Amino acid sequence: MTLLFLVLFGRIYWVQIVKGDYWYGLAKTRWSAEETLIAKRGTITDRDGNVLAMDSLAYTVAVNPKMIDGLGIADEVTEGLHELLGKPEDEVRKLVTAKKEETGEFFQQREIQREGWKIDKELADKIKAFRDELEKKHDVKDAGIYLIDDQKRYYPRGTMASQLLGYVTKEGKAMTGIESFFDDKLRGENGEIIYEKDGKRVQLSKGEVNYTPAKDGQDITLTIDMQVQNYVEEALKEIVKEYNPKTVTAIAADPNTMEILAMAHMPTYNPNTYWQSDYENAYNHSIKSLYEPGSTFKIVTLAAAVEEGIFNPNAEYKSGRINVPGRPVNDINKVGWGTISYLAGLKHSSNVAFVKLGWEQLGGPKLLDYINRFGFGQKTGIQLGGESAGKINVNLSIPSDIARVSFGQGPVQVTAIQQVAAVAAVANGGKLLQPQIVKQIYDPMTKTTQTFKPQLVRQVISEETSRKVGEYLEQVVSDQEIGTGKNAYIEGYRVAGKTGTAQKVINGEYSKTKFVVSFIGYAPVENPKIVLYIVVDEPNDSLAGGGKVAAPAFKEIVSKALRHYGIAPSSDPNKDAASKKEASVTVPDMTNIKVSQAKAELTEKKLSFEIVGNGTSVLKQIPASGTAIHPSQRIYLITEQKDKLKIPDMTGLSLRDAMEISSVLDVRLIVEGEGYVVSQKEEQKDGSRYIRLKLEPPLGSDAALESGAAEDEGADASSEAKEDSSAAAENGAEGEAAGNG
Active-site residue list = 295
What sign does the CA torsion over 226, 387, 418, 285 have? Answer: negative
3-state percent helix, strand, coil for the chain, nearest multiple of 5: 35, 25, 35
Give the chain's end-to-end CA distance (angstroms, integer). 109
Contacts of residues 108-112 at CB distance under 8 Å and 24 or more positions apart, as own/partner, are: 108/64, 108/65, 108/66, 108/67, 109/62, 109/63, 109/64, 109/146, 110/62, 110/63, 110/64, 110/65, 111/60, 111/61, 111/62, 111/148, 112/60, 112/61, 112/62, 112/63, 112/81, 112/85, 112/87
DSSP annotation of 274 reads G
Rounded-to-integer distance, Cα 66 and Cα 648, Å = 55
Asked if 563 contacts 651 with a C-beta cutoff of 8 angstroms, the reply is yes
Cβ-proximal residues to 65 (8 Å cutoff; 6+ apart), any chain: 95, 96, 97, 98, 99, 106, 107, 108, 110, 144
Contacts of range 81-90, beta carbons closer than 8 Å, 24 or more positions apart = 81/112, 81/116, 81/127, 81/130, 81/145, 84/123, 84/126, 84/127, 84/130, 85/61, 85/112, 85/115, 85/116, 85/119, 85/123, 86/115, 87/112, 87/115, 87/116
> How many CA atoms, within 13 angstroms, populate the side-chain half-sphere of residue 451?
3
**Closest listed residue to residue 692, CA positions, set 676, 723, 668:** 668
Report how far residue 66's alpha carbon sits from residue 96's, in angstroms, rounded to the nearest whole number: 9
Task: Please say whether the beta carbons of 223 and 437 come within 8 A.
Answer: yes
Give the ranges where 644-683 is alpha helix by DSSP (H).
Answer: 655-665
Cβ partners under 8 Å of residue 395, min gap 6: 401, 411
Q: How far apart are CA 20 and CA 12, in angstroms?
A: 10
Residues 6+ apart with CB under 8 A from 73: 134, 138, 143, 144
CB 266 within 8 A of CB 243: no
Bridge partner list, 250:
264, 534
Residue 134 burial (C-beta neighbours within 10 Å; 0-12, 13-18, 19+): buried
Task: Round to whole Å and give the CA distance between 702 and 668.
Answer: 29
Whether 289 contacts 250, CB under 8 Å: no
Is the distance from CB of 697 to CB of 674 less than 8 angstroms?
Answer: yes
CA distance 687 to 554: 40
